[in-house]
Structures are given as C-alpha cells and as structure tokens.
Amino acid sequence: MQQHSAQHVLSAAFVRLFNMPTVSFHMADEYCSIDLDSPSLSKEQVESAERLANEIILENRPVDLRFVTRDEAATLGLRKLPPTERDQLRLIDIHDFDLTACGGTHVNRTGQIGGICLRRTEKVRQGYRVEFVAGGRAVATARRDFNTLTEIAALFSAHIYDGPQHARKSLDEIRSLRKQIEQSQDELAAAQAATLLAETPESHGRKLVVRTFSDRDLNFLKLLGQKLTRQSPAVIALLATESPQPALVFAQSAGQPHDMGKLLKETMAKLGGRGGGSKDLAQGGAPTAQGLDAALTTAAQFLSR
Ligand SMILES: [Zn+2]
C-alpha cells in the first residue's frame, strides 16, 4: 500500500515538474520502479521530484476514492485514462495533486506513505527507469546502506562520508604499485636472463636454457623468455613454474629453426594441460606441477636430436 501509493505521488510529481509521464510501474522484492517517457533525466530532476513527492507526503493530503462514468472522467483531466471499455471508473484523488484511475489499494492520507527515496536511474528503451523505496522499506534500505557504508569506512578507519576519498586514494596507490612491480619484474627478468645466459654453455651453435621455477607466474616466465631470446641471437628457452599456477613457456630467438608452438602443444598433451603459440614463443598451463621437470627434459632431448 505504501509503495503503490508512493508511486501515484511520484508519477504525478514528474508530470507536474517536468511533464514526464509514467509509462509503466514495476514491483521487485526490495524496491519499485517507474519508467518515465523522457529522452533525458538529470540528477537535479530526480532530486526535485523526490523533494516535491516528500512535500506532498508531509502535507498529509487526503486520498479519496470515487467512481465516475467514462464520459465524466474525460472532462476531469486525469493523469492517465485507462484503456478499458468499462463505463464506471474508480478514481484515486490525492487532494489538489493527482487524479488517476486505479483499482489498487491505497493509503487514506499521504502521510501514511511515510516518505519516499529515489535511488538508481537507468536508461531503458522507452525512456528512464527510476527505482524508489517508500515508508518502512525506505527506512530498511537506509539501515542497510548505512551498515554497508559503515563496513567500508571501517576498512579505512574513516568516517563513512570519507569512504569514496579513501577508496580513490587506495586505488591510486594500487595502480602506482602495479606500475612499480611491472618495472621491477622487467628489471629482474633482464638480470636473470643475463645470469642464465652467462652460466649456460653454448652447444650446437646455440644456448639451450632449461629451468623450472618454484614460484614465478606465467607473466614473468614470458618476460624471461623474451629477455633470453632477445639478449642473444641464438637461444632456446624451456621454462616452467610450479606455482601459483603450473605453467610452461617455450621461446627461441628469431631465426632459430624449431617450432615452439608445436613443441609446447605436444608437451602439454602429455601433461594433460593446454597451450600453444607462435613459432618463436608459446605458453600453456598444466593441471599440476608434477612431471614439469620431466616434460622439460623430454622437450630438451627432442631439440638436441
Ligand atoms: Zn493505485
């Protein structure tokens, strides 16, 4: 009753203020919504309509019920004339504010609606959808919002109204740290590639680097594979990591004769994983870390034949 009566007041407010008719009304478990026939809807308009609707509620206007004939109704300037053929119409009259035909159950005075709070708006096919809550539901929603904001604020040891500022600052820090990590990873990969190349003897005119790491991610393996094969013109790198996700990266310097994509696919088939790539760089993920070393050895033997 509160939600439905609130809809009458709200729809009338949008017509009175901005000449935006309501074309449909929906009821969900936690909120209701109206669809407004309008090409645009600003935040200011939403707030004005909310203000007017709450003024009408505070004024505690009578809500009367009366029956008229269709012909009579046509002269009364109803907000909405129903499409039915019935001759008798049931009118809901919110004193000096809204007159419309409706068969539903309503409050006796607008004060019983308690209050109305407009929430999310969304562009829909025929205009704008406006979600709202009224009365007891508005209080329950405000309570839930407050609890949510309190939980967020506690994470930052801040006041609830400072939540957005703290969240923005944290996101900025995360972005900046991510950049720093990327740069460090790049430098680490370059240094590690130089070390690996220095300790790997040349054989058959190229260096074959085979290495399993315990805790590098796939991105780092790829980076290392790229550094190895670019720092020296004749390198083949068979790299694996056990965690956080078991993975393989095979890479060769441009101009080397093998097919890393094909070799990786074959290796992965034995490990029960999936992967692939180009002739010079391939990657894949394995279901477990078991057998990674043996798989690298097998692939290395294949290349040395
Ligand atoms: Zn109604």
Task: Report how far ligand 1's centroid is from the alpha carbon of 140 (Å).
Answer: 23
pLDDT of residue 216: 93
206: containing domain:
184-304
Task: Report how far ligand 1's centroid is from the alpha carbon of 103 (Å).
Answer: 6
pLDDT of residue 82: 75
The Cα-based distances of 196 to 122, 145, 173, 227, 250 in angstroms read: 57, 56, 34, 11, 15
pLDDT of residue 86: 76
Tell whether 111 is covered by a domain: yes
Task: Report how far ligand 1's centroid is from the alpha carbon of 107 (Å).
Answer: 10
Tell whether 261 is covered by a domain: yes
Task: Report how far ligand 1's centroid is from the alpha carbon of 67 (Å).
Answer: 14
Say how far apart CA 21 and CA 112 lie, in whole Å.
24
Say how far apart CA 289 and CA 294 lie, in whole Å.
11
Q: How many domains does the chain have?
A: 2
Q: Examine the domain organization and report whether 145 and 7 are in the same domain.
A: yes
pLDDT of residue 62: 98
Helix count and strand count (H, E) for the chain: 8, 12
Tell whether 179 is covered by a domain: no
Tell whether 71 is covered by a domain: yes
Task: Report how far ligand 1's centroid is from the alpha carbon of 168 (Å).
Answer: 43
pLDDT of residue 252: 96
Strand partners, 223: none
pLDDT of residue 85: 73
Q: Are 153 and 175 in contact (CB under 8 A)?
A: no
Task: Report how far ligand 1's centroid is from the alpha carbon of 111 (Å).
Answer: 16
Q: Examine the domain organization and report whether 128 and 214 are in the same domain.
A: no
Task: Report how far ligand 1's centroid is from the alpha carbon of 116 (Å).
Answer: 16
Pairing of strands 235-241, 207-213: parallel
User: For the chain (length 305 residues), average pLDDT per consecutive 10?
Assistant: 95 97 92 96 98 98 94 86 80 95 94 97 95 96 97 96 95 98 96 96 93 94 96 94 94 94 93 92 93 92 85
The Cα-based distances of 93 to 34, 53, 78, 113, 206 in angstroms read: 20, 15, 10, 15, 91
Task: Report how far ligand 1's centroid is from the alpha carbon of 148 (Å).
Answer: 33
Cis peptide bond N-terminal to 257, omega within 30: no
Task: Report how far ligand 1's centroid is from the alpha carbon of 7 (Å).
Answer: 8
Q: Are 117 and 50 in contact (CB under 8 A)?
A: yes
pLDDT of residue 126: 85
